[in-house]
């Protein structure tokens, strides 16, 4: 029996279902510079080095040093012994079977064994290979709640203390950010929600959504908002005040957005800052909390670098601590605050585990919680290895336990080294001609401003590159050091003209290469900078 082919009306004039003209334009427009053009070039050079031969020998460096992304273990930093031991036993409980107690304890201290058994009992018979509850293992979420309560001064019977129900575990903080921004995504162009369409009812159109994000800022926010079609309302941090946040600019931005028919719904604040390394003072945090409450904004407190504070005269002030310590009771009850944390950052730096979480304040509505639960359910659950790593972060060895001396030593050495590297990198940049760099008070980065001649800017245009990319590509090709142009964080890629005829731009580098190598890295950057100024014309000292 023959079948007559169906002739479709208006057959598509395309070769593929996914091509430039059909792919989601939001995805096409999204940019993520820390994994963008410079790292791609660096990977190509790495392949040349790996292949060896004449091409590799011709390069003026013998290795690629990745300073583009906060990925500490990838550049030689070491993991915590306790965390890896607990994870090993959770992944392979059979490691202890058939061993007597004395032999087992030589391999895994008693507190490691106890922690693993506790977690395995909570995960059930499937262990780390089975799905957990959608929001994460209940026991781990309770451990997170207790940790955050202690951190923020809400321990004990405090009426606003968090419980497991307030915690969503996630695949890194990135997973939590995606969940939150999905709830805020623009609905202004849609005539009906999916549910309304199914019930044949039409929902009233609402104003398009906007989210306030800092500039400079970690590009996950701008990238995801672009993908989701949500307006980016960019507020500029004040470089001359060590990248402080000015609430008056937030107020102006909100009013301007509303006049343009945009509904500001959320405010993102990163402290300690990425890429700038700034640390907000308590008074500034109070202003931000009051503003977010007054304007009925969801406040996303990105605090993944809470443990990375390198200045002795300052302390990390979490938004949640300041909220419950310093703000009026109605603000405490009503403010929609979400605190973000990650096992990828801090002093743990287990980026590949993809462990993170968000903690919801009492002001986050039941409707929002239900929809977050729905999104978590659609994704089934965060990965179990990341969940175990989160538990190790929030429930580390305590004094008196067998693993504590080694853990305390590893933690102290790691912090002291990062503190020295932060100081070293900033001092090195400040010693260079026509370079300024605010102190790296926290996080893992430095964000210097570089001034070059107008001739250098013209050379970049002639090469068909933005000025900041031109400089960073030359740095990579001459030293093997991969950094990120400032445009990747929202700064002007072509630079800004100064009164003396010079042009300024920014770049971001991590402080993560091993300490003995960090000196060589900064010496190489300084040498490249001097050669660049010599080739394209020097500028006056600042």
Q: Quick one: which of 70, 162, 225, 211 has its CA closest to 358?
A: 162
Position 119 in a domain: no
Q: What is the pTM of this model?
A: 0.88
Do both 323 and 363 map to the same domain? Answer: yes
Do both 417 and 382 map to the same domain? Answer: no
The SS3 assignment for 216 reads coil
Position 252 in a domain: yes
How many Å apart are CA 255 and CA 59, to the nearest integer?
A: 54
How many Å apart are CA 261 and CA 226, to the nearest integer?
A: 18
Domain boundary among 394, 418, 441: 394
291, two tokens: 């503003």
Instruction: Give the per-residue pLDDT at 197.
Output: 42
Do both 240 and 175 map to the same domain? Answer: yes
Position 115 in a domain: no
Do both 387 and 423 map to the same domain? Answer: no
How many Å apart are CA 482 and CA 41, to the nearest integer?
A: 9
Give residue for tokens 């919801």. 360
Domain boundary among 394, 421, 449: 394
Q: Mean pLDDT of successive 10-residue segments in the chain (542 residues)? A: 59 66 71 73 92 90 90 86 94 81 84 94 87 90 95 84 94 89 70 43 64 90 88 92 91 94 94 91 94 96 93 89 93 94 88 91 92 89 92 96 96 94 95 93 93 92 92 95 90 70 90 91 95 85 58
Position 92 in a domain: no
275, two tokens: 């890429």
201 burial type by CB count under 10 A (0-12 exposed, 13-18 middle, 19+ buried): exposed
Question: What CATH number is given to the structural domain containing 422?
Answer: 3.90.1150.10
Question: What CATH number is given to the structural domain containing 356?
Answer: 3.40.640.10
Do both 292 and 435 map to the same domain? Answer: no
Do both 360 and 495 map to the same domain? Answer: no
Do both 387 and 486 map to the same domain? Answer: no
Which domain covers residue 237, as residue numbers? 132-185+210-394
Instruction: Give the per-residue pLDDT at 196.
Output: 42
Give residue for tokens 């995960």. 123
In sequence order, what are the residues at sequence separation of 6 or more whose Cβ sits closer than 8 angstroms to the Cβ of residue 286?
A: 322, 326, 327
Do both 460 and 376 map to the same domain? Answer: no
109, two tokens: 């201290």
How many Å apart are CA 241 and CA 50, to the nearest integer?
A: 45
Q: How many CB atoms lie within 10 A of CB 50?
A: 8
Do both 457 and 482 map to the same domain? Answer: yes
Instruction: Give the per-residue pLDDT at 192.
Output: 37
Do both 375 and 259 map to the same domain? Answer: yes
Position 181 in a domain: yes
Q: Structural domain tally of the chain?
A: 2
How many Å apart are CA 512 and CA 132, to the nearest integer?
A: 34
- DSSP state, residue 442: B
Instruction: Give the per-residue pLDDT at 6.
Output: 57
410 burial type by CB count under 10 A (0-12 exposed, 13-18 middle, 19+ buried): middle
């Amino acid at each position: 029996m023959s079948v007559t082919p169906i002739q479709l009306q208006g057959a598509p004039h395309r070769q593929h279902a996914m091509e430039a003209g059909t792919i989601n334009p939001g995805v096409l427009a999204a940019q993520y510079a820390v994994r963008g053009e410079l790292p791609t070039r660096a990977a190509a050079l790495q392949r040349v080095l790996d292949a060896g031969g004449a091409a590799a020998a011709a390069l003026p460096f013998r290795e690629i040093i990745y300073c583009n992304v906060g990925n500490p273990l990838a550049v030689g930093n070491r993991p915590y012994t306790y965390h890896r031991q607990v994870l090993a036993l959770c992944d392979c409980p059979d490691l202890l079977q058939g061993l007597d107690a004395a032999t087992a304890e030589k391999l895994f201290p008693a507190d490691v064994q106890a922690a693993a058994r506790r977690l395995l009992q909570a995960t059930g018979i499937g262990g780390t290979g089975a799905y957990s509850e959608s929001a994460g293992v209940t026991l781990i979420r309770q451990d997170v709640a207790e940790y955050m309560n202690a951190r923020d001064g809400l321990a004990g019977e405090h009426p606003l203390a968090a419980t497991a129900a307030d915690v969503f575990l996630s695949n890194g903080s990135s997973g939590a950010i995606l969940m939150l921004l999905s709830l805020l995504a623009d609905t202004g162009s849609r005539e009906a929600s999916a549910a309304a369409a199914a019930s044949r009812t039409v929902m009233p159109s609402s104003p398009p959504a906007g989210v306030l994000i800092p500039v400079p800022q970690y590009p996950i926010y701008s990238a995801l908002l672009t993908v989701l079609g949500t307006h980016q309302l960019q507020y500029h941090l004040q470089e001359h005040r060590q990248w402080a946040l000015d609430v008056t600019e937030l107020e102006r931005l909100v009013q301007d957005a509303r006049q343009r028919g945009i509904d500001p719904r959320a405010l993102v604040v990163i402290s300690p800052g990425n890429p700038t390394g700034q640390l907000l003072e308590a008074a500034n945090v109070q202003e931000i909390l009051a503003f977010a409450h007054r304007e009925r904004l969801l406040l996303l407190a990105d605090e993944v670098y809470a443990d990375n504070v390198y200045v002795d005269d300052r302390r990390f002030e979490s938004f949640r601590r300041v909220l419950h310590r310093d703000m009026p009771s109605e603000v405490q009850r009503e403010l929609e605050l979400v605190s973000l944390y990650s096992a990828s950052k801090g002093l743990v730096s287990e980026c590949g585990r993809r462990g993170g979480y968000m903690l919801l304040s009492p002001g986050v509505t039941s409707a929002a919680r239900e929809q977050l639960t729905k999104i978590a359910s659609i994704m089934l659950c965060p990965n179990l290895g990341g969940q175990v790593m989160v538990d190790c972060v929030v429930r580390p060895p305590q004094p008196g336990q067998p693993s504590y001396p080694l853990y305390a030593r590893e933690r102290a050495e790691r912090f002291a080294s990062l503190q020295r590297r932060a100081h070293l990198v900033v001092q090195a940049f400040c010693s260079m001609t026509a370079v300024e760099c605010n102190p790296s008070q926290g996080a893992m980065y430095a964000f210097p401003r570089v001034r070059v001649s107008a001739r250098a800017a013209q050379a970049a245009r002639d090469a068909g590159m933005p000025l900041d990319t031109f400089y960073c590509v030359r740095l990579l090709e001459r030293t093997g050091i991969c950094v990120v142009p400032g445009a990747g964080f929202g700064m002007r890629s072509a630079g800004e003209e100064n009164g003396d005829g010079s042009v300024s731009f920014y770049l971001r580098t991590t402080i993560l290469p091993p300490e003995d190598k960090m000196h060589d890295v900064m010496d190489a950057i300084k040498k490249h900078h001097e050669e660049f100024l010599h080739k394209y014309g020097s500028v006056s000292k600042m």
